[in-house]
């Protein structure tokens, strides 16, 4: 399986709304589109940044394509961004596991 590390920098003043969108909608949609959340963090000293790790079952490009065209996501994103985008910057890195250390089992 492929993992993906994503870093979102919230638009100033929008971190609470971004977190609410993840909590109330996005994470459940990830599950339906073969993406398993492994953890979410904010860096110490950077409360406007959200970092999370996903595990993809299948092709990440196909998972994101299905997610991005899901009408529920389209509606959720539009409703949450009536006063502008919640994110100023999004970075994504696909990761392959090495044999250096066994991967932790997700709960």
pLDDT of residue 101: 83
**DSSP-H helix ranges across 1-107:** 15-21, 27-32, 60-69, 71-80
For the chain, the farthest-separated pair of C-alpha atoms sits apart, in whole angstroms, at 46
pLDDT < 70 stretches in the chain: 103-107
pLDDT digits (tens, 9 = 90+) for 32-45: 999 999 999 999 99
Domains in the chain with CATH codes? 2-12+37-95 (3.30.70.100)
pLDDT of residue 1: 82
Q: Which residues of 64-93 are buried (b: 16+ CB within 10 A; e: fewer)?
A: bebbeeeeebeebeeebeeeeebeeeeeee
pLDDT of residue 105: 62
Q: Is the separation of the CB atoms in 84 and 28 below 8 Å?
A: no
């Amino acid at each position: 399986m492929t993992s993906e590390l994503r870093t979102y920098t919230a638009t100033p003043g929008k971190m609470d709304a971004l977190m609410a969108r993840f909590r109330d909608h996005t994470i459940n949609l990830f599950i339906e589109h073969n993406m398993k959340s492994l953890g979410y963090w904010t860096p110490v000293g950077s409360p406007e940044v959200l970092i999370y790790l996903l595990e993809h079952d299948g092709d990440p490009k196909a998972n994101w394509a299905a997610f991005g065209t899901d009408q529920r996501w389209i509606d959720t994103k539009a409703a949450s961004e009536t006063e502008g985008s919640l994110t100023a910057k999004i970075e994504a890195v696909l990761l392959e596991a090495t044999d250096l250390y066994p991967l932790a089992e997700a709960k």
